[in-house]
Structure 1
Amino acid sequence: MYMSVTHQVKVTVEPTFEPDRSDPAEGRYFWRYDIEIANLGDSPVTILERHWQITDGEGRQQEVRGPGVVGEQPTIQPGESFRYASGCPLPTSSGMMVGEYGMLGANGERFQVAIPAFSLDSPHVRRTLN
């Protein structure tokens, strides 16, 4: 698991390689990632948007931006959390993702919350730590 805390919002990510949705012979690899966003503060926060930077195993990058997460712009009350799952296809057997959420505080202030960088590794490649 990967975790970061920004502005009293904790983001935890757990990526999982999905062999049933992958076809290494065709250069298709797929990961599911489960995310929990926990409000550690004392006032509600709303997820307005997301921004992802996705890098495949050959260093090619793509950016994804959009409103909310999984079609929602949830408000998370103090002491509560929001969980969702999504996925990422890549043409390589490894990669990484990192990003941020654009949030709105109860006072109308907008701020960014970091999504920790996490590794996408398949069992079809030997893992190398750099």
Structure 2
Amino acid sequence: MVQSITKGIHVSVETEFQPEYSSPVQFHYVFTYKVIIENKGDQTVQLLRRQWYIHDAANAIKEVEGEGVIGQQPILEPGQKHTYVSGCNLKSPFGKMHGYYQMERMLDGQLIEVRIPEFVMIAPYKLN
């Protein structure tokens, strides 16, 4: 699990290879990642947007951005957390992702860019 804190927002990410949905013969590798976003600050925030940079060992870099996460724009009061699981398809058994969330402080409307720490995705059989 990787973690980072930006302006009181703690983000942790854990990945898992999904062999039952992957097909190495067809260069198709599926990974899931679980993200926990926790507001350790003293102000309520809302997650508005996300920006991902996905690096595939096959030299592909993909940028994904949009509103919220899995169709939600959660509001996090101090001490609250939001957890979600999503997935990523790669053309190789190795890759990495990183990015940021755009959040808004509810009190004054200030926008905050919260870093999503870089995490790697590796098919376990490649570790031997």
| Alignment TM-score > 0.5, same fold | yes
2:84, 2:40 → 1: CA distance? 18
Counterpart position of 1:113: 114
2:46, 2:59 → 1: CA distance? 33
Identity of aligned residues (%): 38
Gapped regions of structure 2 (runs ≥ 5): none
Contact persistence 1:96–1:120 (CA under 8 A) = yes
Contact persistence 2:58–2:92 (CA under 8 A) = yes
Aligned partner of residue 70 in structure 2, secondary structure: coil
Aligned residue type for 2:109: G
Contact persistence 2:52–2:100 (CA under 8 A) = yes
TM-score normalised per structure 1: 0.94
Counterpart position of 1:59: 59
Post-superposition Cα deviations, 1:6-42, rounded to whole Å, max 9, x if no partner, equal: 0100000001001111011111000000000000011
Aligned residue type for 1:119: V
Post-superposition Cα deviations, 1:51-101, rounded to whole Å, max 9, x if no partner, equal: 000000133201000000000001011001000000000011110000000
Aligned residue type for 1:123: P
TM-score normalised per structure 2: 0.96
Contact persistence 1:93–1:124 (CA under 8 A) = no
Contact persistence 2:58–2:91 (CA under 8 A) = no
Displacement of 1:125 after TM fit? 2.0
